[in-house]
Amino acid sequence: MKRLIISGGGTGGHIFPAIAIANRVKLEFPDAEILFIGAEGKMEMKKVPEAGYKIIGLPIRGLQRKLSPQNLSLPFKVLASLKKAKKIIADFKPEVVVGVGGYASAPTLYVASKMKIPTVIQEQNSFPGKTNRFLSKRVSKICVAYHNLEQFFPKEKIILTGNPVRQSVIQKMDKRESINTFELNPNRKVILAVGGSLGARTINECLLNNFQAIQDSGMQLIWQCGSAQFKLMQESLSGKNTNGIVLTKFIDKMEEAYAAADVIVSRAGAIAISELSIIGKPIILVPSPNVAEDHQTKNAMALVNEDAAILIKDSEAREKLISTAV
């Protein structure tokens, strides 16, 4: 392996598997050149360079579900992205192109397949999105984490690999040192609440409305509220006693947060499920209701059926989440 392109992003659920793939390739092939292709303005344009890799952005955007003037420019952005992806691929000359999901993966994999370059989809979820279902007819192989995806993908292309996870996550960190990193009391238990890289409104509202109950219970809280609601949560907590509460937009060193935690509250994205399976701590999953075919609930049941997690429905979280966690 000399040259590899990895494309996709948008959320941590796509970005972190992509970086995990790149890190493993570099471990196996130290001289390999790896180039990322992302979407301009999206999270990958920051996170990938922080991981030590070069990334080029495409002007691609998604279709807005509501009526929006932005949708009028979408065909032009798609055409511009296809043209730019073709030039990037022609210049870089990759041996393989991997798509991990997200806006940028569609034009990249489409162009690479037309150029007869071996292409791979890394599908994290139990219910694939429309883009990967469309691309599955063109790509060489499809790596999946769940059984029974033959209903979406050509059976002969599927390889059951599981999801790639960050090497840092599976390393055992010292609990006391990790608690000190967050400037918390090592003698009190810690709840880690993670709503995904963009946040989870229901989890955030539960914590905001009940953070006093968490404090009264003697527990502490590491709270990743996500970029979309960080300012609102920060303003809502202004002037209040937040002793033992660590509010953050995003946790860069998630391995330290996992190590510090005694209980973990999380959405049920595919990568979160894969990482939490390795961590092996008490888990409360609140699947997002805003996903196709309720696939986060399907993801969560992989742990619940093994008595490895508790599931609380999003609609019931406001009544049950905090009392279950503390």
- Give per-10-residue mean pLDDT for the chain (326 aa): 93 90 95 97 94 96 63 82 97 98 94 97 89 93 92 96 85 89 95 81 93 93 92 92 93 91 94 89 93 83 91 94 94
> Are the beta carbons of 96 and 120 closer than 8 angstroms?
yes
Give all strands (DSSP E) within the chain, no chain letters. 3-7, 33-39, 54-58, 96-99, 119-123, 141-144, 158-160, 190-194, 220-224, 245-248, 263-266, 283-285, 310-311
pLDDT at 198: 64
pLDDT at 311: 97
Q: Which two tokens stand for residue 59?
A: 């002007």
**What is the C-alpha separation between 190 and 263, in angstroms, rounded?**
7
Q: Letter for the amino acid at 256?
A: E
Residue with token string 């065909």: 75
Residue 233 has a CB neighbour count (10 Å cut-off) of 21
Q: How far is CA 325 from the centre of its chain?
A: 23
pLDDT at 115: 97
